[in-house]
């Protein structure tokens, strides 16, 4: 048996290839599918099957393009209402490849159509070797139940409890668990960093599986869910019909600084993908800084939306290409162009620029002594609850699409997150909203805690 996990850090997304007898199956493919074709060729395998655990909401799947390029059959849950040629899956449906059997388990809960795939390698045992759990069961968590247009979160949470206890937890403890997402994904709340586990380990350590009653499970799983990005439901619909091939995307247009300024004056979204340090040192006024490092695509989709038609500012053509690919992975297909020559060209044209000052946590501490600065914490609620700066206001970055926070304008505002990635994004959005007294706290709350500075633990209130 051949088995490979592909992990896309930008989306915290795991996909898989399983092979035996010269055939291969790909599970939950990412949008750009060349990596599967390359590996299959290296392993002398023909991709014959494409399995989808559900209609993904946080990324656009490559199932349709992969099927067109290989002739493979797509399999997806019968409740998906898929509009592309497919095999609808119900409990017990099996596909055989050489010595491998892949058996479908209907596991509604994260979504109504969710399916898990039990893998049996008959060369080793007649017992399940692994289960690919999609977004039903994560390492340390379970899938969020609020991504459906047809079911309430409470209804889905009840179905999720049944799927976990009546299906997945009946598998042998030694069964390996391979989910579709890892830590950082918005499809759950408290996933661990490990890329795989076992049913036995999750039975003992997964906090969601420790909840004794169905009623209490529903209550806890539906409480304090992270903000759901607006593009999630749109991506689900794209995946229901199948995305167009990436080769059909139009080439990007190079723009002069004057052309970019004209678009900015018309209200265009300018997306600067350079590292945060470079953005802070100088950027186009009104641009939004989301560095390619970190979870760039998720933040771009969540904060801008998939119909935002951004213009890119990058430091190289390679960065432009990488940004374009990552945006397409979440459904942002229409990019209006890129600044030819990057920010250097903007400077040479003599056009205005903004600088975002940065201070250390020690400098922040001094400013807090004389109350000369306000502090804004843009981490998520769970992070805030585990510890925060006493004087800070809290407003999670996820909520900024609904309006940037209205803060005291009598003092500069210093912004922090965990390490500095999200706070730079927040600074750029505050600047775009008209603030010119925004400061980024270098190193974020990690640096504050590492310096041994005081923190408090309490329930948050929105700023």
Residue 10 in tokens: 């930008």
Instruction: Tell me phi and psi for residue 198, to 5 degrees.
Output: -135, 160
In this structure, what DSSP letter does residue 227 have? P
Q: Taking Cα atoms as reference points, which of 336, 327, 323, 141 lies closest to residue 221?
A: 141
At residue 407, the pLDDT reads: 85
Higher pLDDT among residues 319 and 294, named by residue: 319
Please state the domain extents for the chain.
2-241, 249-348, 358-450
**Average pLDDT estimate for 201-227:** 93
14 neighbors 182 (Cβ within 8 angstroms): yes
430 neighbors 404 (Cβ within 8 angstroms): yes
Which residues neighbour 300 within 8 Å (Cβ) at sequence distance 6 or greater?
271, 290, 310, 326, 327, 330, 332
Higher pLDDT among residues 436 and 185, named by residue: 436
Residue 89 in tokens: 């899956």
At residue 459, the pLDDT reads: 57
Q: Taking Cα atoms as reference points, which of 132, 137, 32 lies closest to residue 89?
A: 132
Query: What fold characterizes domain 358-450?
Result: Oxidized Rhodanese; domain 1 (3.40.250)
Q: For residue 89, is pLDDT > 80?
A: yes
- End-to-end C-alpha distance for the chain, whole angstroms: 54
Q: What pTM, to 2 d.p., does this model score?
A: 0.92
Query: How large a percentage of the chain has pLDDT more than 70?
Result: 99
**Average pLDDT estimate for 161-174:** 97
Task: Read off the pLDDT band of 226 (50, 70, 90).
Answer: confident
At residue 460, the pLDDT reads: 44
Cα 202 → chain centroid: 23
**Average pLDDT estimate for 39-62:** 97
90 neighbors 82 (Cβ within 8 angstroms): no
Q: For residue 259, is pLDDT > 70?
A: yes
Q: Which is the CATH superfamily of the domain at 249-348? A: Rhodanese-like domain (3.40.250.10)
CATH code of 2-241, in short, is 3.60.15.10
Task: Read off the pLDDT band of 463 (50, 70, 90).
Answer: very low
Q: Report the C-alpha gap between 421 and 417 in whole angstroms.
A: 7
- State the sign of the Cα–Cα–Cα–Cα dihedral 8, 144, 160, 215: positive
Q: For residue 168, is pLDDT > 90?
A: yes
Domains 2-241 and 249-348 share a fold: no
Task: Read off the pLDDT band of 461 (50, 70, 90).
Answer: very low
Supply the mean pLDDT for the chain: 95
For 391-431, write each residue's pLDDT tens digit: 999 999 999 998 888 888 899 999 999 999 999 999 999 99
Which residues neighbour 463 within 8 Å (Cβ) at sequence distance 6 or greater?
376, 393, 394, 395, 405, 407
**Average pLDDT estimate for 164-189:** 92
């Amino acid at each position: 048996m051949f088995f490979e996990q592909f992990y896309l850090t930008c989306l915290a997304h795991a996909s898989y290839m399983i092979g035996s007898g010269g055939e291969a199956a790909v599970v939950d493919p990412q949008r750009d599918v060349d990596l599967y074709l390359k590996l299959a060729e290296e392993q002398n395998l023909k991709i014959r099957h494409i399995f989808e655990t559900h209609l993904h909401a946080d990324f656009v799947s490559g199932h349709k393009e992969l099927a067109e390029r290989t002739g493979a059959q797509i399999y997806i849950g019968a409740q998906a209402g898929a509009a592309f040629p497919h095999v609808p899956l119900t409990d017990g449906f099996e596909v055989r490849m050489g010595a491998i059997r892949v058996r479908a388990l209907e596991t509604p809960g994260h979504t109504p159509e969710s399916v898990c795939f039990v893998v049996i390698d008959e060369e080793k045992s007649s017992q399940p070797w692994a289960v690919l759990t999609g977004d039903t069961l994560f390492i340390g968590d379970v899938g969020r139940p609020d991504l459906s247009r047809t079911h309430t979160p409470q209804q889905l949470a009840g179905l999720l409890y049944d799927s976990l206890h009546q299906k997945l937890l009946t598998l042998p403890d030694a069964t390996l668990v391979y989910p579709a997402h890892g830590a950082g994904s918005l499809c759950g709340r408290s996933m661990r960093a490990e890329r795989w586990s076992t049913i036995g380990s999750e039975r003992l350590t997964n906090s969601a599986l420790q909840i004794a009653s169905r009623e209490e499970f529903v209550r806890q799983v539906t409480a304090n869910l992270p903000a759901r990005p607006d593009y999630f439901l749109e991506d689900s619909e794209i995946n229901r019909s199948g995305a167009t091939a990436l080769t059909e995307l139009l080439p990007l247009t190079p723009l002069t600084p004057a052309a970019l300024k004209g678009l900015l004056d018309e209200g265009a979204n300018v997306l600067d993908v350079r590292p945060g340090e470079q953005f802070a040192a100088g950027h186009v006024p009104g641009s939004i800084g989301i560095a390619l490092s970190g979870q760039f695509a998720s933040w771009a989709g969540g904060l801008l939306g998939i119909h935002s038609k951004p213009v890119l500012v990058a430091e190289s053509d390679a960065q432009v290409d990488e940004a374009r690919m990552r945006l397409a992975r979440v459904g942002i297909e229409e990019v209006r162009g890129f600044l030819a020559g990057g920010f250097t060209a903007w400077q040479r044209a003599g056009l205005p620029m903004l600088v975002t000052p940065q201070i250390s946590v020690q400098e922040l501490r001094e400013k807090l002594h004389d109350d000369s600065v306000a502090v804004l914490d843009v981490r998520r609620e769970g992070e805030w609850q585990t510890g925060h700066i006493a004087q800070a206001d809290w407003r999670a970055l996820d909520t900024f699409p609904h309006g940037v926070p209205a803060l005291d304008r009598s003092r500069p505002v210093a912004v922090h997150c965990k390490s500095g990635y999200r706070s730079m994004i927040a600074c750029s959005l505050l600047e775009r909203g008209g603030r010119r007294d925004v400061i980024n706290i270098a190193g974020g709350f990690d640096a504050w805690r590492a310096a041994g500075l005081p923190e408090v633990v309490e329930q948050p209130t929105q700023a």
